């Protein structure tokens, strides 16, 4: 097993930021976000970039990710719309177009948007094995969170 040098890690993070800023066309969803993912591997480090968008409907005017955790670093970049992201404390942080929020690994987080939103999530995960092509799973939903 070969460890990444600090230069390789910096290059990887720079590539993630550049790729995350690029637009990838996708269809709009009614109740669940539309998504397109790019996955790449660097030894034991996995990079997954997910482009998402949400279009509100009369039945579902707001997007709510629900409480969840990521097993690795998650970098959320908002393209349009605004997220209220809650993590570590119960006061949400507003994240608007052109802004970035870095989610802490293995810490409950929830993102809520009133109305339409487009965003990119770049996930950096260490491969812990498993039978699937992407192990561990990039997101684990939680039944409840630390805040109401």
User: 122 near 77, Cβ under 8 Å?
Assistant: yes
Tell me the whole-structure pTM to 2 decimals. 0.69
The per-residue pLDDT for 132 is 53
Enter the CATH code of domain 6-141: 2.60.120.10
User: 108 near 147, Cβ under 8 Å?
Assistant: no
3-state secondary structure of 56: coil
The closest alpha carbon to 49, from 28, 22, 26, belongs to 22
Domain extents in the chain:
6-141
Q: How confident is the prediction along the chain (148 residues), in pLDDT tens digits per residue? A: 344 454 444 444 444 443 333 333 222 233 456 666 666 666 677 888 889 999 999 999 999 999 999 888 999 999 999 999 999 899 999 999 999 999 999 999 999 999 999 999 998 887 666 545 555 567 788 988 888 7
């Amino acid at each position: 097993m070969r460890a990444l040098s600090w230069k390789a890690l910096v290059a990887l993070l720079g590539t993630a930021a550049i790729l995350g800023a690029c637009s990838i066309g996708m269809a709009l969803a009614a109740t669940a976000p539309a998504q397109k993912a790019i996955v790449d591997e660097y030894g034991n480090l996995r990079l997954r970039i997910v482009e998402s968008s949400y279009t509100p409907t009369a039945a579902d005017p707001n997007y709510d990710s629900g409480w969840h955790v990521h097993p690795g670093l998650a970098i959320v970049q908002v393209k349009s719309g605004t997220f209220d992201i809650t993590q570590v404390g119960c006061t949400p942080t507003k994240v608007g177009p052109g802004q970035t929020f870095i989610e802490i690994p293995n810490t409950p987080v929830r993102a809520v948007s009133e109305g339409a939103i487009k965003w990119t999530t770049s996930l950096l995960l260490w491969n812990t094995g498993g039978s699937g092509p992407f192990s561990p799973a990039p997101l684990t939903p939680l039944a409840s969170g630390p805040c109401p």
